[in-house]
Structure 1
Amino acid sequence: MSASVLELVRPDLRGFAGYSSARSAKVQGEVWLNANESPWANPADPTANCRRYPAPQPQPLREALAALYGCAPEQLLIGRGSDEAIDLLVRALCRPGRDAVVVTPPVFGMYAVSARLQDAPLREVPLRDGADGLQADIDAIIETAQASGARLVFLCSPSNPAGSGIVRADIERTARALAGQALVVVDEAYIEFSDQSSAVDLLSRHENLAVLRTLSKAHALAAARIGCVIAAPALIAVLRALQAPYPVPQPCADLALAALAPEALARTAERVQQVRGERDRLQAALAGVAGVRRVYPSQGNFVLVRFEDAEAAWQALLAAGVVVRDQRATPQLGDALRISIGTPEQNARVLAALGARREQAA
């Protein structure tokens, strides 16, 4: 890690080795008696795969994810969804009470939660609501980060719940402006549903850049909790030292690896295209529903909708057995609901519950 990136890590953690688990040791043998594991499998585990502790970073999965995302395996750390990566980054870079975190509300709440748990000052730069939707104010983000001495800047692209993306030129501009001061983290949880390309290839030019990816959305593995952070190899090593000993359960790793096989990836790509088509159809239909104030453009697998009477819309959907995300407690979104894109039948049910005309729901 070059000196400028190392300076972003908390001084007390730069040489931190972390916990050395039984699976961390580079030893080989036939009889493994070094981890106090049961010598017999559990009766409920016919494969006997679960009696042993798993590899901290299963190499086959790490290589498969690196191939999928276009990076080197040593640039990637697997964790429990993107949530764990967010927490690790805040803990690694932010000294309690000193180093700030910049976020762009309304946005994914885990950035603020992790900052609060670390006692890192939170600096908010609200999205601007304009004709092209809720958009990140890059100039204000840079100014706020510089003025507050922020150590971390989270750019959610596509943004949840806004659905808006951040162009690569603005990501690069932010990284350049904050070089040597802050790590710019691009959360790409929904990028598979977007037209924009990943920022992973920008890491070679900007060492103060990191990217978050997940298998929870497009790859339909939310329960497996497989996500990763992609960054400079030495920063990945620091984050690994902070991580719990066995972050990737073996059954989840096996499932994720199977999901990254060529046939599975091809099927996933088909489903992503279907979601994109359904998103366009749902947006167009919702725009014509009485009581809908605005349907925001979206690059994710959801749409954000403002209502004249959001409570009535919420209750109508619940009465039809449809549960959506109530955004009304979120600042700036007191009249909004976020609707995930479902199957064609589920989307038709949403439209019917909201009183869409029959020809719109077809």
Structure 2
Amino acid sequence: MSAVLELVRPDLRGFAGYQSARSDAARGEVWLNANEAPWSSVADRGGRNRRYPEPQPAALRDALAALYGCAPDALLLGRGSDEAIDLLVRALCAPGRGAVVVAPPVFGMYAVSARLHGARVLEVPLRDGVAGFAPDLDAMADAALSGAAKLVFLCSPGNPTGERMSTEAVERLAQRLAGRAVVVVDEAYAEFADAPSALVALPRHRNLVVLRTLSKAHALAGARIGCAIADPGLVEVLRACQAPYPLPASCVALGLAALAPASVDATGRRVARVREQRDRLAAALAHLPGVRRVYPSQANFLLVRFDDAGAALRRLRADGIVVRDQRAAPQLGDALRISIGTPAQNRRVLAALGGAAA
């Protein structure tokens, strides 16, 4: 057994999970093994949804593996990154006894999944410095080792803070925690960054997991397509813990269309446009009255501190603009997170905030 599989809950080692009708590799012309309707729904003109979908659609898995440069058996498809987060907590943390390490302010689902499972959440706050927010990876490793945590969650680029971690730093953390904990790097916003993905480190560190999604750069948030890329043995464990049919057939079709060469090229051009607009908006915001600080961002949003964040929020809402209020998050009592929109939408943001002085 590999070192990373020794981190899996003992009661789940060798666990087969639910074997659905589609798990059977049988071939035939008349399929009567899953209690499906014999006719398509009157609402389903294409007839795509009468049958249960593949548990792990091979065509979509292969397309994503090609996009991310990994082997198909190292990739688990799921409902966005959220499902992968939940599966990792369930597979590695003993109910009521396990622990995870997080670095707030950060995406809330790591802590939510842990608490729903009864796992302890060990917090090592991000450090706010001249260059922006950054995780204290040494302190996170110390917390994992002293708290017997099985999972360390990193968000890179960070949400809502926008910082990006170097691959070298991630590798040092994974090496220090080898055999003790799994390091999970959530790269939901990786396409907007100008640094390499942690995916390049996967062959060297079996206790590393990278999460990716089609929700952001590929504009398929409503399709809920994400994946975990990890050691194939760990992928098998996560699959055994997963519901039998995670992705609807209609969503799989959307995902395949989005990963066609012409679509990927178009997405690349749109990502470049978002990056350009992000830099323009950041520069303009920094000169507005009432804006205290605009953080550097490697994602498709900006974190902005205001002299009076409440007043800024009211001005934006009065103009019909909805942004994310971050004031309840640790260290962000004066901050809003603003997603990058179209050029016209970004101009509306600037116009709404133009008189938002304290």
- Matched length: 356
In structure 1, what is the equivalent of residue 71 of structure 2?
72
SS in 1 for 2:78: strand
In structure 1, what is the equivalent of residue 144 of structure 2?
145
> Displacement, 1:125?
0.6
In structure 2, what is the equivalent of residue 330 of structure 1?
329
In structure 2, what is the equivalent of residue 290 of structure 1?
289
Deviation string for 1:187-231 (max 9, x for gaps)? 000010001111112111100000000000000000000000000
1:210-229 correspondence runs (5 A): 210-229=209-228
Give the Cα separation in 1 of the matches to 2:69 and 2:181. 24
In structure 2, what is the equivalent of residue 81 of structure 1?
80
Q: Tell me if the contact between 1:163 and 1:303 (Cα under 8 Å) persists in the aligned partners.
A: yes
Which amino acid in structure 2 is aligned with residue 276 of structure 1? Answer: R
In structure 1, what is the equivalent of residue 279 of structure 2?
280
Q: Tell me if the contact between 1:286 and 1:356 (Cα under 8 Å) persists in the aligned partners.
A: no
> Displacement, 1:98?
2.1
Give the Cα separation in 2 of the matches to 1:321 and 1:24. 48
Q: TM-score, normalised by structure 1?
A: 0.97
Give the Cα separation in 2 of the matches to 1:306 and 1:120. 33
> Displacement, 1:169?
1.0
Give the Cα separation in 1 of the matches to 2:31 and 2:334. 59
Q: Does 1:3 align with 2:24?
A: no
Q: Tell me if the contact between 1:294 and 1:305 (Cα under 8 Å) persists in the aligned partners.
A: yes
> Displacement, 1:56?
0.3
Deviation string for 1:61-116 (max 9, x for gaps)? 00000000010000000000000000000000001232210001000000000000
Deviation string for 1:337-358 (max 9, x for gaps)? 000000000000000000179x
> Displacement, 1:143?
1.1
SS in 2 for 1:328: coil
> Displacement, 1:250?
0.3
In structure 2, what is the equivalent of residue 35 of structure 1?
34
Deviation string for 1:242-279 (max 9, x for gaps)? 00010010000011001000000000000000000000
Give the share of equivalent positions with the same residue, in percent: 68
In structure 1, what is the equivalent of residue 62 of structure 2?
63
1:217-296 correspondence runs (5 A): 217-296=216-295
Give the Cα separation in 2 of the matches to 1:227 and 1:356. 40
Give the Cα separation in 2 of the matches to 1:86 and 1:195. 25
In structure 2, what is the equivalent of residue 300 of structure 1?
299
Q: Does 1:102 align with 2:101?
A: yes
Which amino acid in structure 1 is aligned with residue 224 of structure 2? Answer: R
> Displacement, 1:5?
1.1
In structure 1, what is the equivalent of residue 161 of structure 2?
162
- Displaced runs of 4+ in structure 1, greater than 6 A? none
Give the Cα separation in 2 of the matches to 1:310 and 1:218. 28
Which amino acid in structure 1 is aligned with residue 283 of structure 2? Answer: A
In structure 2, what is the equivalent of residue 352 of structure 1?
351
SS in 2 for 1:4: coil
> Displacement, 1:3?
2.9
Give the Cα separation in 1 of the matches to 2:125 and 2:269. 35
Q: Tell me if the contact between 1:108 and 1:160 (Cα under 8 Å) persists in the aligned partners.
A: yes
Give the Cα separation in 2 of the matches to 1:332 and 1:148. 24
Give the Cα separation in 1 of the matches to 2:165 and 2:136. 10
Give the Cα separation in 2 of the matches to 1:132 and 1:144. 24
> Displacement, 1:12?
0.2
In structure 2, what is the equivalent of residue 343 of structure 1?
342
Q: TM-score, normalised by structure 2?
A: 0.98
Q: Does 1:193 align with 2:195?
A: no
Deviation string for 1:102-161 (max 9, x for gaps)? 001000000000000111110001000000001111111111111111100001000000
Residue ranges of structure 1 left out of the alignment (5+ in a row)? 358-362
Give the Cα separation in 2 of the matches to 1:135 and 1:287. 21
Residues 299, 350 of structure 1: CA spacing in aligned structure 2 closer, same or farther, 3 A cutoff?
A: same
Residue ranges of structure 2 left out of the alignment (5+ in a row)? none
In structure 2, what is the equivalent of residue 360 of structure 1?
none
Give the Cα separation in 2 of the matches to 1:3 and 1:72. 18
Give the Cα separation in 2 of the matches to 1:88 and 1:329. 27
SS in 2 for 1:150: coil
Query: In terms of mean alpha carbon deviation, does 212-221 or 133-142 score higher?
Result: 133-142
Give the Cα separation in 2 of the matches to 1:170 and 1:281. 29
